[in-house]
Amino acid sequence: MKFTFLLILLIPFFAFAQHCPFDGTMILVVKASKPLKSQEYITIEETTTYPLNICSYGNNALKDTLKVHYSDIFVDNRRWYFEKYLKMGKNDFTKGNYLLAKTYTQIQCVEIKKDEKNYEYPQIHERSFILKRIKKGKVVKEKAISSKNFYKLCTSAGSWDRIIASEF
């Protein structure tokens, strides 16, 4: 009887547990056509044409620099989990590639709309971006990409073996 009572008390702790340290995290993996030299780096800038103020979250335009190593994108305990999950798969998508990790709402616009009965529902808008290879302060190469080039890191979205680098 005591055991059953204790078990019932523990149910809420298990029912609301976060199942993955990467909930809501998406990653962009970019393979440079030629290795970057000193004073070269890759940036990403948002080129979305619709007004970002319709987005319920992440309503600032994305502008960032891609990182060379995953330790630069995860500065908290997720770095340990990232290494663990990376070793579990066959595909080390980080080797020789450039990385950017962002939240889902920075990659896709979630607009909250209301139907005729005043019920709220989310409408997802794809965002568009441009990759830029910068050399000594000048853009030497550009490529348009979309939010479809990002992969969800949460393992409920599938094995990390599905993650492939975007050629640039």
Q: What is the pLDDT of residues 55-106, one digit of tens each?
A: 887 788 889 999 988 888 887 778 888 888 888 878 888 888 999 999 888 8
> Tokens 């319709």 — which residue?
54
Average pLDDT score, the chain: 85
Radius of gyration of the CA atoms of the chain, in A: 20
Beta strand 98-103 pairing with 150-152: unpaired
Nearest of 123, 121, 141 to residue 131 by alpha carbon: 141
